[in-house]
Every structure is written in structure tokens, then in C-alpha cells.
Structure 1
Amino acid sequence: MTPEFVIGYARKAIELTLMISLPMLLVGLIVGLVVSIIQAATQVQEQTLTFVPKIIAMFVALLIAFPWIMEKMTTFTREVFINIPNYIR
């Protein structure tokens, strides 16, 4: 295995991690922004108010995106396992 090969697989793993975390992070960002705008408009500055809506929204996003996430993860894992003989050359 060459260093370029290892770096390439590490890059693929990092890209996959970012891609499968994007739906939850994006939903958390949007819900946090909406709650912050509502807090600013109503002048309610309770810090714990943002956590519950974000947690619920991120959980719902995870439930919706879970089949897609599992498909991406199993494809990547299957590709790694199938190509093990090619890696040890």
C-alpha cells in the first residue's frame, strides 16, 4: 500500500462522513436560525429554548435520511471488503 492509496481511502471516508452527517447538521442549522430569529423578535433570551426543537428536528431528519445513510455506508463497506485482496498486493 502506498501513502497515496491510504490518503485516498482516508479522504473517501471523510467525504462519506461529511455527506451522511449533512442532513442532520443542515436541519439543526435551519431550526437553530429560526428559533434565534423568533427569540430576537420576541426578546425571549432563554438559552435552553433552542435545544429541544433542534434535538427533535435532528432526530426526525435522522429517521427520514436513515435508509439513504445506511445505503451509503454499506456500499462503502462492501467496496472496502471486496477490494481487500487488491490492497495487500
Structure 2
Amino acid sequence: MLTPDMAVDLVVESLHIVMVLVLVLVVPGLVTGLLVSLVQAATQINEQTLSFLPRLLVTLLALILAGRWMAGYLMDYCVSVFTRAATLVG
């Protein structure tokens, strides 16, 4: 039987996984955007498209470097959810 405590644990764990996976992709782009903004402020170049390409490239690089780890992390969670579901049924 699925108890409310078990349901809350599943939701908390899934939110934790989502936060970790999103942070791995968002933080490098955020830092890159900040650095580009500082350079733009120092040089007084106010072009919006100038900050897009470096952020895009850094996000793609983070996805390339951490993609295998992210997929494994998500697959481990899915396996644990299905394992728990199997123990609840029978």
C-alpha cells in the first residue's frame, strides 16, 4: 500500500533530481551571461544578441559534458521508482 509518507518521499526525491539536473545546465549559462554583461558594461557595447551565443555554447558544452551523468542519474531514479512500485504491488 502506498502511504502518504512514501508519496511525499517520492515527490521530494523527484523535485531534488529536477533541481540538480536543471542547475547543472542553468548555472554555467548564468555565470557566462554575467561575465558577458560585465564585459559589455565595461566596453559600453549594448547588444542583446552578443550575450546569447556564448550562453548557448556554454549550455551546449555543459550538456555534452554532463549529459551522460544526467541520463544515468535519471535512469537510476526511474529504476528505483519501478522497484518501489513492484514491491508495493506484490
TM-score normalized by the length of structure 1: 0.91
Q: Which residue of 2 aligns with 1:15?
A: 16
Aligned pairs (5 A) from 1:1-89: 1-88=2-89
Q: Secondary structure at the match of 1:73?
A: helix
- The ranges of structure 1 where at least 4 consecutive aligned residues each deviate by more than 6 angstroms after the TM superposition are none
State the Cα distance separating 1:50 from its structure 2 match.
Answer: 1.1
State the Cα distance separating 1:71 from its structure 2 match.
Answer: 1.1
Q: Which consecutive residues of structure 2, in runs of 5 or more, have no partner in the other structure?
A: none
TM-score normalized by the length of structure 2: 0.90
State the Cα distance separating 1:16 from its structure 2 match.
Answer: 0.4
State the Cα distance separating 1:55 from its structure 2 match.
Answer: 0.8
CA distance in 2, matches of 1:87, 1:55: 43
CA distance in 2, matches of 1:49, 1:3: 49
Q: Secondary structure at the match of 2:62?
A: helix
Q: Which consecutive residues of structure 1, in runs of 5 or more, have no partner in the other structure?
A: none
Amino acid at match of 1:60: L
CA distance in 2, matches of 1:4, 1:83: 13
Same amino acid, percent of matched pairs: 29
Q: How many residues of Structure 1 are paired with residues of Structure 2 in the alignment?
A: 89
